[in-house]
Amino acid sequence: MANTLIGSVLERKTTAPPTAPSTSSLSSSGFRNGFPLAQHRSQGPSFGSSKGKGKSAFQRAREENRRNGNAGDSERLEEPPKVGTGSKTQSSVTSNGEADRDAELPHKSSWRSQISLENEARVSSMTEEERERERQEIIDRFGKDVGEILRRTREKREREEREVAKKREGGSEDKDVGMEAVELTDEVVDNSARKGFTPTSPLRSATSTTSSTRTNSPTPSSRRLRFAELAPQNVHVYESAPSSPKRKALALPPPDKGDASVVKLGDLGIKPKMLYTENGEDQEDAGVDSSKPSPKLENKPKQESVDKEPEGDEPEEGTPEYIQRKYFPSQPRPKDVPELAWMAEGSASASGSTSTSTGSFTTGISAPPPPPLSHPFQNVSPTSIPGTFDKDSQGPLSRLRFTLHGTPISPSLSLKLPTHLGLHHHAEGTHAGYTLDDVFLLSRSTVKMQRSAMLGVLTGIVRVIRGKRSESKRSAASASSSSEEAGLSVSKPQPQSQSKSSSHLVDLESYDYEQDEEIRSALEALRSPTASQVAKRILFTGLEACVEKGVVGVRGVEVVAEVLTRFNGLRRGMEGDDEAHDDELDESFDEFALDLGGIETSGSSEMQDILIEALPLHQVLPQLVGVLIDPPDRAVDADVSITSSIYVKTSTPTQNRILYIFHTLASHSNQVAEELCKTTGLVSGVLKVFVTPSPPSSTSSSSSVNSDISLHILALRFFTDLALASRANAKALVDTGVADVLLRFIFSSSSAFTTPTTSSTSTASSLSPSPPSPPSSSSSSPSISPSLSSPTLSEILRFYTALGRYGMYTHIAADAKEVWWSIGQWIEHIIKGMDANQQLPPLNSTFSSPSPSPSPSPSPSSQPLSRSISFWDFLKSFSSLIEIWLVAATDPHRTTPEHALVWSQVEGLGWGMWVCGVLKNLLERFSSAYHFDSQDIPNPSNDNNNINAHVLNAFGALYRALAAWVEGAEINAVKGGEEVRLVAVEVVKTSLSSTGLVDVVGKEIKEQLDSFHRLRGTRTSLKLVRCSWVLGSVMRVLVSVDPGSAILSSEQAKQLRAVSQGVVRLLAPSSSLIASGYAFAITSRPLTLFLVWYLRLLKGTSPVNAWLPYALAVLPVLQNGDEDGAVEVLKYVLRAVDDVDGPGALGRNGVDIDMIRSFYEYEIRGKGVVPRVQTSKNRETAEDEEDDADADVVEEMRLTGPLSPTSKSILMSTTQRLPPPSPPLSTSDLASKAEEPTVNTRRRAVKEWGPTGLPLGRTWVIRPVDHLLRSGNPNSLFKNTHVVTRPQGWNPGEVEIVRAVLRLAVIGREVLHKASIGATTFMTMEEAVFSCMKIFMLEHEQDMEAPREGMGEEVFRDGLVEKWMGELLMPYTIAERVNAQTTSPLPSHPTSTLTLEEVSLPFLGPSNTPFYQFYTDLVGLYDAVSFSHPLFGRILLPPTSMRYAVDYRRLLWCDYPHVVRSLRIPVEQMVLGDGEGVKEWLWPLEKDPRVLGAYVGVLMRYGGVLEGFVRWIALHHIAGNIWEDLSEDKFTESQKEKSGRLLKTVVQQGTRDVVREILMYRQSATLGVLFPPACFTTAGEWREARKGLINKLGVGGQNLLGLLDI
Amino acid sequence: MNAPARYELFVLDEGERPVEVTEDTKIPNAATVKIVKQDHTLGNMLRAQLLSMPQVLFAGYKVPHPLHPYFLLKIQTDGTVTPEAILEQACNKLIGTLSSLDQKFKREFSFKEVESSGTTGLGGTTTGGFASGEDPYGVGSGVGGAAWGSGKDYLDF
């Protein structure tokens, strides 16, 4: 846009002819040889100036110049002076302008005034809008403060003009007084200045402008002159801000009596609002009598400067600011440069007018006084603390007050509270309590107790932020109880203060702030995501205090631990989980998740996430390690521990909290976990503090018990978590010796295991009263000492399992074989004990943990972990360990290091037989005496649902171990492990008996699946998942033991089929039951595991057409970590699809389905093998140097270990934890997509396009086309061909790929439809349409120079592609839908109401391509190349239904009317979505005048040619806007008038056919849709009404009415 | 950088034919015409002209690559004429339209010149003013703006 205010720079003719540089200055000043003479300053003034003595060389040189007069000036005239109309050229103007100032002064002022007149005239002629635009433009160009600068210069100039005028009148011409800068009067700028934006810092050019002029140097004459003219408003008062508020406060004059704003002296220096109050006073003073300097200012030494510096803008000579401006004008301002920071102190005060913060203090004279302060409260603002919040956004928060416990109190309550609660010490007026700012300020106090008290308040505030009061109370209780649990009684300040003031706090305790209306908004603000700043501040305040000694440090750690506590439990991700918060459930869920490999908790937008990401881990972790080693509460602790035990060192509460913090961090994300592992001393520190090795002297059993107690379960879990996070971590843990230390515990407790075997009779008898699980009631069976150590032992075994999943530390299996053997013996003995008794108690009473522990999981304590021990847990851990070692031993080259464990060793240990024995024994027990299903009543209130969870887990682990044994034997044992298989079959047979495990579990799953709809929740899903894991393990055994699955009865096979279908339905992407969440992600692992194993089983037993639909249904639902399984399934599927038609069928020619396998494999694995975070550098190398790219890829690779480890996975997997689930694609995100501001949030939710990894989702079939379209994208397969294996010479063309893809899609859908299983996993109409759109968009390979099959052969012109695309879309056509309604009740495709825009998001992604743009391109392509391809035309129409924004219709109907003409689509061929069907096209009626106009226009112009669906749509909307009887509601007057006009237009311009159809068109919004031609032939009352309208309007006459009578 | 030399936009290569017509093998009465050394200017005009002719069922063009100076015109007729014939007709009509437009424009413009020279010299003087540089603020000044405003109407036929 042309800028009309700022004209171009023109060269002006100079009036003075340029003269050659004169040497007079050199010669006259006594320079010799061209160099100045060296002369010491002290040698006196040689120039006669009285002031020269103290002057710098620069100044003298300048004076010299001036003395030389014009000679010096003309020297500078070489450069032509320029005239600028804006301040951009100010500086140059300034320097040059002064040269010809004297000569040109009159002229200059005249042209200036002329310009200014012109400008003013123009500005006044502008509209308000234009002015605003111009103003904005000027501001854009010159910065915000241009207005201020211009205003100042203008003032100055006017002042000077006045001076000159005066002087002229007096006849005294002083040449020195002139205008120093040429500033144009600009009314616009003045406007902007007046509108009151305040400058923050002036342009540098402005600074140099005012400082580089000659007039600045104070010669006596000029100064004297100005001095005489000094007007009060010209005085610039230099702010004399003291360096600290204290000093300033002391300098205050005593306040007036009765002044409302008087502040107590006690608050000085602390209350931030002090500044404001005082400020107000200042300004009031100044405002009252600005002519006379305020008394306060008179006290200051700088008052002199007021006299000395009348100019107002010039700093005093000698001040840092002055030096800086004068000699280093190009330097940045001192406060911006650290080296010059020392100057900032002084200059900040000197440059008062340049910064707003000080400006508010200092410009009291010029600035208008602020509104009077009515009450000191209202002015208390957080901004008064440097670096806090924004004043506006934190409005309600700044007034919220808290008690000493962090409980918020409402303003009314705070007025009522008595003064002795300690809440008034820092309070204002009569309000009690502390604001957030108070707390933050006081938490930096130097008084330790004050500081610690405030940290306590912060802890309370965090609990308030988190919400639930009950929870916070509980966690508070547990926080304090953690000390008791560790055998300590640390005296804590908080309980003390509680007890002290407890009597007064009674009313406060009962006060429920959640219900208080007054502070609701403040609470909401506090909890809103935007308030994470507050939490962040709290976190950092706590971190600051952590390193302190004593109670402050304790409280600091407390605050940090509290802030980092997970705000919502892991399982909270489950949508619709309305179960109450249940700690025990949480605990069991977390434990189960750990068994499954864990999951990263990052990725949510919760507060905890933001906080952890904000942590500077590099600095924080070493500090925390320091605190951990030397905790501040060590002294107290030491006394206690010494008295209690000599060698048992227990951890202090602070250490517990730090461990808790570490644990939270470790579970956050793998990166953080690696960071933790890398921090020097962290792991060893935790080991030292929490895992104390038992003293070497202790060989007795008592010592071993003691040492076990000192083992901290949370610490063990922390290690397990670290190991699960990444392979590097596991290696680091082994290297640090964690595993070695833990092995010692196993050794020391192994002596206990031998006890029962040696004295079996005694234990058996002792067992009899409370069999079979003495561990659960540890009090009753003291004889079995391992029961005491079981939980810790289980944890240790779990840690070894985690290591084993990377193939690490497996050598202990052989090295410590005695221990494992004795453990195995002990377990067998226990089970035999059950046998001996023949008295099996109902499992629910025994194994449901009988002691409900009150401790909650989010507390930083180990209490929840020390639940009653379960023998079954131990058995499960041990079996899992056996399983992983068996897997590791299968191939010795896969372990790290190699040959750590070999098969012969494993065989020697006899684990396989042991597993068989135990399993068989157990199964016999259960099948004879116990029915699993006796307690299957789903009853969430009862603990029953949790019952045999532990038993089931143990069974599952045993089955897995068995499977691993059989699988290993197949490779390593003689004859492919035939004998082993025989043994295993025996075991499996037992479990497959009529009341056996499989039946029971299967029934259980089915029931859970059924009830899942009603009772969605953690309990149900947990149970379901556990059962399916067991079932999956059984399947795994079956697959390897009995490939033909002959032992599976038909009944059982049926049941399994039903179960698997239910699971598929549950996991199907369209299932609305489950939103994606952490809980869902983690719980789906066993489900998919079951599906994969079941599929393998099925594949071995049934013909292709039985399992192919199942495989097709399973493939899209497989989840993260199932990559191996998915690739295998894919292989089956592709091979099978290739065979479906059989050789020689139509699809055979040129379609090689296997060719596209690389795409799918890449999609499945891609996420892990492509660098996840692509920096620009990476991207370049990826393109330039292939080798380097490879190295990068390997580094960033992520392979999640599968749930059933294989010998390959233990070598390859880099992590065992699931990545955080990707945020769900919610429709609410897209509902607001029209609004621009939401774009950013949407971007965050949708990832950049690339291979999605698992789950594949419904549209997986079509993915290869994405890669074709995005072949240039760095994430495309074509850029990453090295990642997946592909056949030699693999270079398929677009047509081949699309053919294969479509064939797979068509066959897949058919198969799924026929089998009626999982048809819901196929595409919706929108997805299918979008897939076709992508195919139509393919045009890369149209080589015009060398056409292959006909010229410009587009992909969609290929015969097969065309045919299959038609088949793909067929089920969605109107004709098919009408058929389907009558014939088959089964849905042929999933129903979904996602729009095309939403469906396209994963592909178009956030790469700045909205679907609208894609659609625009598509329409353009249709217009250019389609030859009115009928299918292409059909594809164009879906986005123009009334469901979508009007823009799509405008594009098609208004911008491409000729395209509409060529859309010859029969109505029944139209594809429809699932929502409203064809109604979504018809209602609501089109109201947009442009589209309506286009309808009319197209219909009038192409009336005869237009046909099919588009004609119907146009007719419908035109008729609907003419006839009132078609509309949903009555016409308004304006609508009636419009309808009349519309009718006239139609009648006058339309052909007879069109007019007739408009007249006869009949449709009803409420009844079913009438398709053409039925909609033109109905009769009814409405005809008369229409006739009436025609008569009324008088259009057309009888001819027209006759049409209606037919 | 990779842009071809400017002359390549309008100079035919050795042995290059300016127009190539390829009949479509699959669609009846359809042809793709490749016209080299031309761009959207001609392509769009031709397409619009073709679309306005009743025999044409489909007409579209595209410029496959912005740096390659040719476009593809796709024509499908209803069978009464061949695509080549209809293209020829379209070209003739287009030429006719353009030449009549040219004539009209010239005539009107000469009217305008006569008219304006008869009535006032305002436009002339302001232009002279620009040239002499006496108004250093060019378009920014009110007079200049007025001149532009008044001078605009000769385009508004």
Residues of A whose CB is below 8 A from B30: 1427
Contact: A10, B61; criterion CB under 8 Å: no
Query: Is A121 in contact with B27 (Cβ distance < 8 A)?
Result: no
What digits encode the pLDDT tens for the residues A1405-1423? 665 678 888 899 899 988 8
Whether residues A7 and B136 touch (CB distance < 8 A) is answered with yes
Structure tokens given for A1117: 């639902």
B72 forms bridges with which residues in the sheet?
B34, B62
Interface of A with B in 109-138 (CB under 8 A): 115, 118, 121-122, 125
Smallest Cβ–Cβ distance between B60 and the set A12, A1342, A1423 belongs to A1423
Lowest mean pLDDT among A437-451, A758-772, A897-911, A1368-1382: A758-772
Q: Is pLDDT at A561 greater than 70 in this prediction?
A: yes
Question: A210 falls in which pLDDT band (50, 70, 90)?
Answer: very low
- Answer yes or no: do B136 and A1357 touch at CB < 8 A: no
Q: Report which DSSP code applies to A217.
A: S
Q: Which pLDDT value is given to residue A475?
A: 42
Q: How far is CA A1568 from the centre of its chain?
A: 46
Query: Are residues A122 and B139, on separate chains, in Cβ contact within 8 Å?
Result: no
Hey, which of A297-311, A643-657, A1116-1130 has the most confident mean pLDDT? A1116-1130
pLDDT score at A604? 58
Contact list, A1344 vs chain B (CB under 8 Å): 34, 64, 72
Q: Which residues pair with A1371 in a beta bridge?
A: none
Is pLDDT at A1347 greater than 50 in this prediction? no
> What is the reported pLDDT for A1034?
83
List the single range of A270-274, A1105-1109, A1499-1503 with lowest mean pLDDT. A270-274
Phi, psi of A488 (to 5 degrees): -125, 160
- 3-state secondary structure (DSSP) of residue A321: helix
The predicted model scores a pTM of 0.64
pLDDT at A309 over 50: no
Maximum average pLDDT range among A80-94, A98-112, A655-669, A832-846: A655-669
| C-alpha span between A142 and A1157 (Å, rounded) | 59
**Which pLDDT does position B50 carry in this prediction?**
92
Burial A1525-1552 (b: 16+ CB within 10 A, else e): bbbeeeeeeebeebbbebbebbbeebee
In Å, what is the CA distance from A502 to each residue of A404, A419, A455, A908?
A: 12, 14, 20, 68
Question: Mean pLDDT across the stretch B129-145?
Answer: 42
pLDDT class of A44 with cuts at 50, 70, 90? very low
Q: B-side interface with A, Cβ within 8 Å?
A: 22, 24-27, 30, 32, 34, 51, 57-58, 60-62, 64, 72, 74, 76, 133, 136-142, 145
What's residue A356's pLDDT?
36
The span from the first CA to the last CA of chain B, in angstroms, equals 42
CA–CA separation, A1223 vs A1241, rounded Å? 12
Under an 8 A CB cutoff, do A1428 and B22 touch?
no
What is the pLDDT at residue A657?
82
A921: closest CA among A1043, A1030, A772, A763? A772
Residue B62 with chain A: CB contacts under 8 Å: 1421, 1424-1425
Of all residues in chain A, the one with the smallest CA distance to B141 is A118
A1533-1557 tens-digit pLDDT = 888 888 888 888 888 888 888 888 8
Taking the CA of residue A504 as centre, how many other CA atoms within 13 Å lie in the half-sphere pointing to its CB?
Answer: 14
Tens of pLDDT, residue by residue over A70-115, are 444 444 444 444 444 444 434 444 444 444 444 444 555 677 778 8
Using DSSP bridges, classify how beta strands B30-36 and B19-23 pair: parallel, antiparallel or unpaired: antiparallel
pLDDT at A1508 over 60: yes
**Cα-to-chain-centroid distance, residue A556:** 28
- What DSSP letter does each residue of A1414-1479 carry, written as one string? HHHHHHHHHHHH-SS-HHHHHHHSGGGSTTS-HHHHIIIIII-HHHHHH--B-GGG-B--SSSTTH
How far does A1339 lie from chain B, in Å, by closest CA? Answer: 10
What pLDDT is stored for residue A743 in this prediction? 80
Check residue A938 and give its pLDDT: 36
Residues of chain A with Cβ-Cβ distance to B74 below 8 Å are 1424-1425, 1427
- The more confident residue out of A1544 and A501 is A1544
Residue B145 contacts by C-beta under 8 Å, 6 or more apart in sequence?
A4, B139
The owner of tokens 């000192």 is: A710
Which residue among A7, A1342, A1458 places its CB closest to the CB of B140?
Answer: A7
Mean pLDDT, residues A729-743 = 83
The whole-number pLDDT of residue A1339 equals 74
In this prediction, residue A368 carries a pLDDT of 39
A121 neighbourhood in chain B, CB within 8 Å? 142
pLDDT at A748: 72
> What b-and-e string marks burial along A980-997, b requiring 16 or more CB atoms within 10 Å of the CB?
bbebbbebbebbbeeebb
Residue A734: the pLDDT is: 84
The tokens for A419 are 């003064």
- pLDDT at res. A334: 54
B34 chain-A contacts, CB cut-off 8 A:
1344
B119 pLDDT exceeds 80? no
Q: For residue A84, what pLDDT is reported?
A: 43
In angstroms, rounded to a whole number, what is the distance separating the alpha carbons of residues A336 and A319?
Answer: 17
How does the average pLDDT of chain A come out, rounded?
A: 65
Q: What is the share, in percent, of chain A residues with pLDDT greater than 70?
A: 53
pLDDT attached to residue B105? 93
Decide if pLDDT at A272 tops 60.
Answer: no
Instruction: Quote the pLDDT of residue A974.
Output: 75
Above pLDDT 90, what percent of chain A? 0
Contact criterion met (CB < 8 Å) for A1352 and B72 = yes
Return the top range by mean pLDDT from A65-79, A712-726, A1241-1255: A712-726
Nearest to A1431 by CA among A1502, A1515, A1379, A1364: A1364
Query: DSSP labels for A72-124?
Result: HHHHGGGSPPEE-SSGGGHHHHHHHHTTTHHHHHHHHHHHHHHHHHHHHHHHH
Q: What is the rounded average pLDDT of the residues B143-154?
A: 43
Task: Please report the pLDDT score of residue B104 as a whole number.
Answer: 94
List of chain B residues whose C-beta atoms are within 8 Å of the C-beta of residue A1351: 22, 24, 32
Per-residue pLDDT, averaged over A401-410, amounts to 76
* Band (A1248; pLDDT cuts 50, 70, 90): low
Higher pLDDT, A791 or A230: A791
Q: How far apart are CA A1196 and CA A1178, in angstroms?
A: 11
Average pLDDT score over residue span A1507-1517: 87
Phi-psi region of A1144 (alpha: psi -120 to 50; beta: other; left: phi over 0): left
pLDDT at A160: 79
Optimal mutation site among B58, B62, B132, B134, interface A, most CBs of chain A within 10 A: B58
Residue closest to A1219 by CA, chosen among A799, A801, A798, A725 = A725
User: A86 near A181, Cβ under 8 Å?
Assistant: no
Contact B125/B80 with Cβ under 8 angstroms? no
Mean pLDDT of A869-877: 74
Residue A736 CB neighbour total at 10 angstroms: 18
pLDDT (tens digit per residue) in A1313-1328: 777 665 566 777 888 8
Residue with tokens 């603990």: A943
Write the pLDDT tens digit of every residue in A250-270: 444 444 444 444 444 433 444
**A903-917, A947-961, A1133-1147, B136-150: which is most confident:** A903-917
Residue A1482: pLDDT above 90? no
Chain A residues lying within 8 Å of B19, measured CB to CB: none
Helix axes A786-804, A738-758, angle to 10 degrees: 140
How far is it, in rounded angstroms, from Cα B60 to Cα B73? 6
Residues in chain B: 157
Q: Which residues contact A750 (CB under 8 A, 6 or more apart)?
A: A818, A819, A822, A823
Q: Greater confidence, A776 or A1303? A: A1303
Q: What's the gap in Å between the CA of A184 and the closest CA on chain B?
A: 13
pLDDT reported for residue B103: 94
Q: Is A1462–B25 a contact, with Cβ atoms under 8 angstroms apart?
A: no
Write down the pLDDT at residue A817: 80
pLDDT average, residue stretch A748-775: 42
Identify the top-confidence range among A750-754, A929-933, A1052-1056, B20-24. Answer: B20-24
| Closest partner CB to B57 (pick from A122, A1347, A1428) | A1428
pLDDT range class, residue B89, cuts 50, 70, 90: very high
Concatenating the DSSP letter of every residue in A129-145 gives HHHHHHHHHHHHHH-TT
pLDDT at position A992 over 90: no
The 8 Å CB, 24+ separation contacts for A242-250 are A243/A345, A244/A269, A245/A269, A245/A274, A245/A275, A248/A278, A249/A274, A249/A278
Q: Is A981:A906 a contact under the CB 8 Å cutoff?
A: no
Q: Average pLDDT for residues A1207-1230, to the nearest whole number?
A: 66
| Confidence bin at B88 (pLDDT 50/70/90) | very high
pLDDT at res. A63? 67
A590 vs A536, more confident: A536
* A939 contacts chain B (CB < 8 A): no
Could you say which of A8, A118, A1351 has the minimum Cβ distance to residue B32? A1351
Give the minimum alpha-carbon distance from A1552 to chain B in angstroms, rounded to a whole number.
19
Residue whose tokens read 């003298």 = A60
Instruction: Inspect the interface and report whether the beta carbons of B27 and A1427 lie closer than 8 Å.
Output: yes
* pLDDT one-digit tens code per residue, A898-956: 777 888 887 887 888 888 888 887 777 765 544 444 343 333 333 334 446 677 788 88
pLDDT of residue A1591: 80
The model's confidence at residue B100, banded by pLDDT at 50, 70 and 90, is very high
Angle at Cα B78 formed by Cα B73 and Cα B80, nearest 5°? 110
| Burial annotation A1260-1285 (CB, 10 A radius, 16+ → b, else e) | bbbbbbbbbbbeebbbbbebbeebbe
